[in-house]
Each structure stands twice: as structure tokens, then as C-alpha cells.
Amino acid sequence: MIRVEIDGAVAVITIDRPEARNALDPPHILDLARAWDRLRDDPALRCGVITGAAGTFSAGMDLKKTIPAAAALARRERIPSEVFEALRRAADALLAGYDVGKPLVAAVDGPCLAGGADMLLATDVRYCSPRATFNWAEVALGLFPRGNATVLLTRQVGWVHAMDLLLTGRTIDADAAFRIGLVNEVVDDPLARALDTARLIAANAPLAVAGTRRAVREQWAMDLPAAYANQSRIAGQVMKSEDAAEGARAFTERRPPRFRGR
């Protein structure tokens, strides 16, 4: 369902439901949420890559499967326990308000739509193929984009681009996504490029990476005095680590550092 493959300190998470354009039905929702839990909780994993199988990233939620289950629940009807758990963890699966605490790199090949595009907004670095397409089409279905779009899209690509995408439901191609800053780069093999970047991230000092990522995310919505104070606090924690001392020693001794995450 959701494949998790380990490449050194990198977890490669693949949504594999090609018959439904990698849309997430209850079993896949639950599997994906548990994959994020694994990445978050395993100290040996330092970075994650998210991608989709068979030339599709994800079409988001499988509405044919999730809406009837949600409606039954709203009517207080009994539903299978695993379906109830999947509905409860749907936001986690799409990384809506769920932070794994480690860098995420996205590799997008083909459609990245609705909930799939919501998940993309929670990643830190993004590559796509020329075949990639993106949209948030909930308004065309009378729905509300309840994931990351109304919270993060304006912060990432700017007001006018975000509002155009959210209010029209239009689909954009890879070049347009690059032009507005939704992705880092358009490449023929986004998974290979994502893995290269993830390995570079994972080779760096884990406390420094985590602290830098945390500072950027926390300081996004702070005023300048609060942001600088928060930066100083996190920097102090990182600079007191054993890894910081090891990095300085390795630089002086002209050798590769051996980081231990402490």
C-alpha cells in the first residue's frame, strides 16, 4: 500500500495505488500516517522523501471511499474500527498540522492534486518532472480545502498566485509551478534528484539540521524581535552539542566530521 524503503538515513515513502491515481482510501490513509510516525520516531532516520508510483504523485483523498464513511459516522452509524481510525488520522496523513520534525523532500511525477498538493505544501524541498500538474480543485466540487492550502499556500507562493489557484481550481503545469516558486526545480528524474538532496541533508549534523528547520518554521509568523530571540535560543542549544564541537575539530583536522546526533 504505502511502501517505505530505507536508504541509509533516508526513508523513501511511496504512495502505491496506481489504479486510483494514488488517491488515499482508508487503508492508505492509515498506512501513510503510520509511515510518517515511523519517520518521526526512528532516530536513525534523518530525512524523508515522499513520492508516488506509476507516474502519479497523488490525486488526494479517494472521495468515493472517504465521503460515504464520513457521512455514516456523522449519522452515528457503526463503521469498521480501521475506517474510523483512518478518518481520525486523515489530517496526519496529509501532514496538515502534523510535523514529522525532520526534513521532507518531494519527488513529483505526474498529477499532484487536491489533498496530494496539500501534502506537498508540508515538504521542505520539491522537485517535479515536466509531466507534473498541480491543483486545488475543492471549490469546483463544493468542498473546502481543509488541509494546508488556505494556511500555507499564500505564505509560499504569494497572495495573487495562491488566490488564483484556490478560487479558480485551475490546474497548472510544471513550468508554472516553478515560476511561482511552488517547486525548486523541474527535472527529468525527480526521485533521483530528491534522493541526492535527501542524502546531503542526512549527512549533515542532525541537531543542526533539526534546529535550523525548526527555527525557520517557528519564526515564519513571528515579528522580528521575537524571531531573533527564538533564533538565539535554538542556536544556543545547537552550539552546546557534541556535534558542534566535533564539526569544529573535524574542520581543524581537515577530516570528515563524525556526527552522532547529540
Q: What's residue 202's pLDDT?
A: 97
Average pLDDT, the chain: 94
Q: Is 138 a catalytic residue?
A: yes
pLDDT in tens, 218-256: 998 888 888 889 899 888 888 889 888 888 888 888 898
Q: What is the pTM of this model?
A: 0.92
| Region 205-253: CATH code | 1.10.12
* Residues forming a β-bridge with 51: 14, 107
pLDDT, one tens digit per residue, over 165-203 is 999 999 999 999 999 999 999 999 999 999 999 999 999
Q: What is the reported pLDDT for 40?
A: 98
Per-residue confidence (pLDDT) for residue 240, from 0 to 100:
87
Identify the active-site residue in 138, 185, 218, 253: 138
User: CA–CA separation, 2 vs 31, rounded Å?
Assistant: 6
User: How far apart (Å, rounded) are the C-alpha atoms in residues 59 and 112?
Assistant: 6
CA distance 118 to 61: 11
DSSP, collapsed to helix, strand or coil, labels residue 5 as strand
pLDDT under 70: residue ranges of the chain: none
Q: Does domain 2-202 have CATH number 2.40.340.10?
A: no
Per-domain residue ranges of the chain: 2-202, 205-253
* Residue 186: HSE in the Cβ half-sphere, 13 Å Cα cutoff: 15
